[in-house]
Amino acid sequence: MFDWMAWTTPVAVFFCCIALMLVGMTVWEIKSPTLSRKGFLPMETTRGDRLFVGLLSAAYVNLAFVGISGRLVEWMGLESEPSIWISFVLSMALLGLVMRKG
């Protein structure tokens, strides 16, 4: 059923983290309803809004990294493409920043 997808370990970890975040946010929202607040994002947001914006940002960071990793080999003279774990860490850091300060 999932043969069309390249299920590498980083991809599986990324999607598992997203699923766990959605479950965690649902439980958190049920136990403690959120209030809108203004952070560095140009609008008032709730926790769910910040999670959505953060997940979109994380996806774009991962896509950009996959797209540019071949060029990084040429530009930096690397022996092989950089590990996808780098983009995973960067995207989760960005997600954390948006959730905390956004």
> Considering the chain, what percentage of its residues have pLDDT values greater than 90?
28
- Residue 69's pLDDT is 85
Q: By the 8 A CB rule, do 46 and 34 touch?
A: yes
Pairing of strands 44-45, 37-38: antiparallel
Provide the pLDDT for residue 14: 76
Average pLDDT over all residues of the chain = 86
Alpha-carbon gap, residue 74 to 51, rounded angstroms: 35
Q: Which amino acid is at 30?
A: I
Residue 29 structure tokens: 């929202």
pLDDT of residue 2: 63
* pLDDT at residue 15, rounded to an integer: 83
Only one residue has tokens 């766990």, namely: 20
pLDDT at 7: 75
Place of tokens 């958190």: 28
